[in-house]
């Protein structure tokens, strides 16, 4: 489960996620501190996917093949993050980092829709894309 709070600047289309709450039930929690780290690091990747990461290609091949141009959120761009963990002692244990990746993009898209009234239909939610949505 993910809940994003986002600020959208209509003039530029810039989206800033200001707060994010992520909840996870992955079975019996063995190490809550490490699970917290996994949830937050997975969320970094999910938010980066939502706001910056983009596979580029031309008519014949993928052109985004250089790791030096790989876009990921910086520490300054990261929101305040709250994690909520539910331990299921009646279940086996699992993992939490990968699940956190998946909740970022839809939560951010929902927050942008809530802020603007316009539903985004793709990611990343780059300033140019969001500005184009707001001009319609």
Query: Where does 2-135 sit in CATH, by number?
Result: 3.30.365.10
Are 51 and 74 in contact, with CB atoms under 8 Å apart?
Answer: no
DSSP letter (8 states) at residue 28: S
Please check the confidence at residue 136 and state whether its pLDDT lies above 90.
no
Q: Which residues of 1-18 are buried (b: 16+ CB within 10 A; e: fewer)?
A: ebebbbebeeeebebebe
**Helix (H/G/I), strand (E/B), else coil: 96:** coil
Q: Which residues contact 115 (CB under 8 A, 6 or more apart)?
A: 6, 7, 8
Please check the confidence at residue 96 and state whether its pLDDT lies above 80.
no
Are 81 and 40 in contact, with CB atoms under 8 Å apart?
Answer: yes
Every domain of the chain and the residues it spans:
2-135
pLDDT digits (tens, 9 = 90+) for 10-47: 999 999 999 999 999 888 888 999 999 999 999 999 99
pTM: 0.88
Token pair recorded at residue 41: 């690091």
Strands (E), 11-62: 14-24
**% of the chain surpassing 90 pLDDT:** 65
């Amino acid at each position: 489960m993910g809940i994003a709070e986002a600020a959208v600047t209509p003039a530029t289309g810039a989206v800033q996620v200001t707060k994010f709450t992520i909840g996870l039930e992955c079975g019996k929690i063995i190490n809550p501190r490490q699970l917290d780290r996994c949830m937050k690091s997975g969320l970094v990747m999910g938010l980066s996917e939502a706001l910056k990461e983009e596979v580029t290609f031309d008519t014949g091949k993928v052109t985004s093949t250089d790791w030096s141009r790989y876009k990921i959120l910086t520490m300054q761009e990261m929101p305040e993050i709250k994690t909520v963990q539910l331990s299921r002692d009646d279940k086996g244990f699992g993992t939490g980092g990968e699940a956190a990746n998946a909740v970022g993009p839809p939560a951010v898209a929902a927050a942008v829709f809530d802020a603007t009234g316009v539903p985004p239909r793709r990611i990343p939610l780059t300033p140019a894309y969001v500005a184009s949505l707001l001009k319609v």
